[in-house]
Amino acid sequence: MEGGGGTLSELYQSSKKTLLKTRDALERLERLEFSSASSSTSAGVDSPELSFAVKRDIAQIQSLCAEMDRLWRSIGAKSQRDLWKRKVEQVAEESDSLKESLDKYFLRNQKRTQEARERTELLGRANGESSHVLRIFDEEAQAMQSARNSSRMLDESYATGVAILAQYAGQRERLKSAQRKALDILNTVGVSNFVLRLIERRHRVDRWIKYVGMFFTTVILIAFWRWTR
């Protein structure tokens, strides 16, 4: 039996060769995937050319299966028809298995790519949040430093105020001492003036006594003179 692409036997041989090549390419893709996963690569390593070739070969096998399915149905002998039916179905099953494996590979690779993108976005957000947290810490540190500076200025102002008050207290004590000395001097001056006044009064009394004595002496002398005449 012949079809547009050759005899059923030729189509079958071509499909088997394509199956072997596709299976080998798919195994290489899976080995590449395993090596990238074991090396802790952040994203899955994909080979677009190889995966596209596998997908193309599977489509070719499916096309061959459709052609072979049409051909084996036209075989007259039932035994030959059943034989080719099983062979074509086997090729179709292997093709479906390869397609399923390739689809799983694409899903895994897409999942790894998505996870890598999410990790990158998460790290970007984490870095942004870290920068925000560091900025908050820096602002808090600046506020604490400003508070420490204010506290130091208050302490210095308090110490200056204490020193000024101590100086004023010392000046007050000195003023009190000077005031006491001045009062002592004034008291001394007051006593001296009192003594001087007493002495002056005694001198005046002594002068009056002298004058009175001189008067009485003169009177006595005059009286005695007159009496002697």
Helical packing angle, 8-38 and 48-72, nearest 10°: 150
**Domain-located, residue 97:** yes
Would you give per-residue pLDDT tens digits along the chain (229 residues)? 555 557 999 999 999 999 999 999 999 998 988 887 665 544 445 678 899 999 999 999 999 999 999 999 998 899 999 999 999 999 999 999 999 999 999 999 899 889 888 988 888 877 766 666 567 657 766 755 664 665 566 556 555 655 555 565 556 566 667 667 766 765 665 655 666 677 777 777 777 787 777 787 787 878 777 777 6
pLDDT for position 1: 56
Tallying the residues shown for the chain, one arrives at 229
**Domain-located, residue 209:** yes
9 touches 83 (CB < 8 A): no
The whole domain housing 81 covers: 1-125
Residue 11 burial class via C-beta count within 10 angstroms: exposed 0-12, middle 13-18, buried 19 and up: buried
Sequence-ordered strand ranges (E) for the chain: 2-3, 6-7
Q: Which of 101, 125, 149 is the last residue of a domain?
A: 125
**Domain-located, residue 131:** no
**Domain-located, residue 161:** no
The total number of structural domains in the chain stands at 2
118 and 221 co-located in one domain? no
Indicate the SS3 state at residue 40. coil
CATH code of the domain containing 113: 1.20.58
Q: Which of 76, 91, 125 is the last residue of a domain?
A: 125
**Domain-located, residue 130:** no
**Domain-located, residue 133:** no
**Domain-located, residue 98:** yes
Indicate the SS3 state at residue 207. helix
pTM for the model stands at 0.48
215 and 112 co-located in one domain? no
Q: Alpha-carbon distance 69 to 214, whole Å? A: 187
